[in-house]
Amino acid sequence: MPRADRKKARARGLTLFVVGVAVLVLVYAGWQRSGPREDGDSKPDAAMEETRPAEPTPSGSPRAADAEAESTKPPEDAPSPAEPLPEGQAQDLQRHEILAEMRDVWECYKVADCTLGEDTDPRAEYFEAGERLAAGMRMIIEQHRAHRIGDFELAEAAHEALQYDSGPVRAAAIEALGELPPADEHLGALVTALDQHHDEKLFEIALPELQRYAESGRREAVDAFLQSNLRSGAHFAARTIARELGPFLTPENVTSYRDLVEELPEDSRRAALLMETLSEFEETE
């Protein structure tokens, strides 16, 4: 073979050898990447391992979070501050605890994001608050009747209850005052509450208590209150007083009421009722 042909054959063989070696290297590298490891583990490579999110710890897992929330959730049957206490539990409360519960109820009524019942209508909330306060006041009255508290404690609770802007609780407070001996401070608290709350039914409840105070030597103060309301008080309150005035009249004060008729408009309902009551009294004298 000529020398030139031998050089070409040698170059061609070297090229084939290099290509063969390169192919073997690529095959081996591919086998290392995709084949099983020596320990039999088939985990993905390190790059894939780094992109996998870390497993949550037991305390951070959804189940653990749900369990923790469940453990801190109050029992479904536990009363909230805005719920009335169960009857058995309420009977065991001390007077100061009942008054604190009453204050909480009233504060809840005044706060927009606190509701006392299922009905969020403001008027329904007002009546619900009044009924709960009245129930609390009646519980304190029962404690007094059972000799668990004294006159001072009952009077203190009644004076506080009279300050609530609610007919039912003020009616219960008037009932509480009826359990106590007459006193000037009780009469003052009563007439102040009546001047602030011109409810006809409340006046009907209060009149017998006012009569008791009149008969206990405080007639002048009672007459002043009644005549003031007849003269310039709310229509329904004045009408109730005029209609129910009979037990308050005496030979000594009837003239002052007769003079009062002259101050009232002739065509007013309160004047007509007052004249009828005065006439009935004078017929019996």
Please report the pLDDT score of residue 257 as a whole number: 97
Distance of alpha carbon 105 from alpha carbon 261, whole angstroms:
44
Please report the pLDDT score of residue 203 as a whole number: 95
pLDDT band at 27 (very low <50, low <70, confident <90, very high): very low
pLDDT band at 112 (very low <50, low <70, confident <90, very high): confident
Distance of alpha carbon 175 from alpha carbon 257, whole angstroms:
28
Tell me the C-alpha to C-alpha distance, in Å, between residue 25 and each of 19, 254, 257, 273. 10, 129, 126, 121
Please report the pLDDT score of residue 80 as a whole number: 47
For 47-91, the pLDDT digits (tens) are 333 333 333 333 343 334 444 444 434 344 434 445 555 555 556
Please report the pLDDT score of residue 10 as a whole number: 53
Please report the pLDDT score of residue 68 as a whole number: 41
Share of the chain above pLDDT 70, in %: 67
The amino acid present at 265, given as its one-letter code, is P
Please state the domain extents for the chain. Answer: 83-180
DSSP 57: P
Distance of alpha carbon 238 from alpha carbon 279, whole angstroms:
18
Is residue 111's pLDDT more than 60? yes
Q: Which pTM value belongs to this model?
A: 0.67
Across the range 116-145, mean pLDDT stands at 89
Across the range 113-132, mean pLDDT stands at 84
Please report the pLDDT score of residue 21 as a whole number: 46
Backbone dihedral angles phi then psi of residue 199, each to the nearest 5 degrees = -90, 130
Poorest-confidence range of 19-23, 92-96, 256-260? Answer: 19-23
Is residue 174's pLDDT more than 90? yes
Better-scored residue on pLDDT, 20 or 230: 230
Please report the pLDDT score of residue 83 as a whole number: 56
Please report the pLDDT score of residue 282 as a whole number: 92
Please report the pLDDT score of residue 101 as a whole number: 94
Please report the pLDDT score of residue 90 as a whole number: 55
Is residue 31's pLDDT more than 80? no
For 212-266, the pLDDT digits (tens) are 999 999 999 999 999 999 999 999 999 999 999 999 999 999 999 999 999 999 8
156 near 189, Cβ under 8 Å?
no
Helix axes 95-110, 151-162, angle to 10 degrees: 0
Please report the pLDDT score of residue 116 as a whole number: 83
Torsion on CA atoms 236, 239, 243, 249, rounded to nearest 10: 120
Q: Classify the phi-psi angles of 165: left when phi > 0, otherwise alpha if psi is within -120 to 50, otherwise beta.
A: beta
Across the range 168-195, mean pLDDT stands at 96
Please report the pLDDT score of residue 198 as a whole number: 82
237 near 203, Cβ under 8 Å?
yes
Is residue 102's pLDDT more than 80? yes
